[in-house]
Amino acid sequence: MKGSRVNLKDAFEKVTFLEDRTPEHSLSGEGEDAFATLSEYRDGGVFIAHYEGKSEWERHPGDELVHVLEGQTTIFLLNGDDETLISLSAGELVVVPENVWHRFDTPSGVKVMTVTPQPTEHSIERPDN
């Protein structure tokens, strides 16, 4: 899809809203219809998702851009024993630094687009840094 125009409205019509996301969903493959790859990008890709609930902890081998298109979410960044909370609403974005464990808490639903390096490492439990 490199070099092709992507219409986000059309792309979101192809994903299914995932209610009550849990950390176990990602590891089991359950709810994968709530996520889509829009394009390859460098060592990863451009992705969209539509869900509510809590994600697993994850980290990436490079910076990840997270842009909230609709709704709200809170990103928890793990720095040693401390967690930094970043609340994002529609139109806001954050760059999650390389190799920083993070997770999402989204009680009422969000549409998000990310630019995410791969591979992604996942953990259901809060990881030790």
Residue pair 78/57 in contact by the 8 Å Cβ criterion: yes
Q: What is the pLDDT of residues 23-68, one digit of tens each?
A: 987 767 788 999 999 999 999 999 999 999 999 999 999 999 999 9
Residue ranges and CATH numbers for the domains of the chain are 8-118 (2.60.120.10)
Number of DSSP helices (H) and strands (E) in the chain, helices first: 2, 9
Collapse the DSSP code of 28 into the 3-class scheme (helix H, G, I; strand E, B; otherwise coil) and give the result: helix
pTM: predicted TM-score of the whole model, two decimal places: 0.92
For β-strands 18-21 and 44-54, DSSP reports them as parallel
119: cis peptide before it, omega within 30°? Answer: yes
d(CA 61, CA 90): 26
Instruction: Give percent above pLDDT 70 in the chain.
Output: 97
